[in-house]
Amino acid sequence: MIARSLLTIGACTALAGCAKPAAPVPPPCAADIVLSADATKRGIPVEATSGGRCLAARAEAGDVAAQLRLGDFYHDAPGTMPLIDRRGHQVHWYRLAADRGSPAGAWAAVQLIDTNRDIQVPNDALAYLFVAVKAGIPEAGDYLVDQWQDGRIDPGKLWRLRRWLATPGVLPNDMRTAIIDGLNAPPDELLEE
């Protein structure tokens, strides 16, 4: 019986069917924490520095502000970072923030993920784009319309968003109208024929 219980627990964990206990939330970082680009210039990720370790622990535990701060650090840091995948770090931290519902993280993730304009917008970038549009980020609405008109979005993937846009008051009226009008216009590729 005990062996069977242990087997069940192991299978449950292996199949990710059990609820995982919440990770302990690390203590807050100092308010005046400074993330220095000096370490990254030497090939050391900022997460390996004393201030960066604190923020990374908070970010991994679900602190959206810490996730955005780390993503912004890699985005805004001047100069080169030898031996560090700068873009990879940005995508990681912004995705974590987006997955927690951050519109700013979602919009930043879209711009990093959707880099090949010759193919359809990747599904994960499109999902993050919808989060940013629904949060009322004007650039995200413009981007959505541009990608639609360039023929980079499958019409079937817009069905739920179109239904959401049909509800008055979900966005400022001028933004909502501009997106609806843009999505109702035929894609540019049809206009060329």
Q: pLDDT tens, 55-67?
A: 999 999 999 999 9
Q: How many CB atoms lie within 10 A of CB 3?
A: 7
**Residue whose structure tokens are 């009008």:** 181
For residue range 152-164, what is the model confidence (pLDDT) as tens digits?
999 999 999 999 9
Last residue of a domain, one of 100, 118, 140: 100
Question: Where a domain ends, among 100, 122, 143?
Answer: 100
Q: pLDDT tier at 187 (50, 70, 90 boundaries)?
A: low
Report the pLDDT value the prediction gives residue 139, as an integer from 0 to 100: 97
Q: State mean pLDDT over 53-80.
A: 93
| 12 confidence band (pLDDT: 50, 70, 90) | very low
Residue 53 lies in a domain: yes
Q: For the whole model, what pTM was predicted? A: 0.80
Closest C-alpha to 81, from 130, 131, 39, 31: 39
pLDDT band at 21 (very low <50, low <70, confident <90, very high): low
Handedness of CA 176, 97, 80, 37 (dihedral sign): positive
- Which tens digits make up the pLDDT trace of 118-148? 999 999 999 999 999 999 999 999 999 999 9
164 touches 130 (CB < 8 A): no
Examine the pLDDT at 11 and tell me if it is beyond 60: no
- Could you tell me if residue 193 is inside a domain? no
Overall average pLDDT of the 43-64 stretch: 92
Do 92 and 164 belong together in one domain? no
Same domain, 117 and 178: yes
Considering its fold, how many domains does the chain have in total? 2
Query: What is the number of other CB atoms lying within 10 angstroms of the CB of residue 19?
Result: 7
Print the domain residue range for 113: 105-187
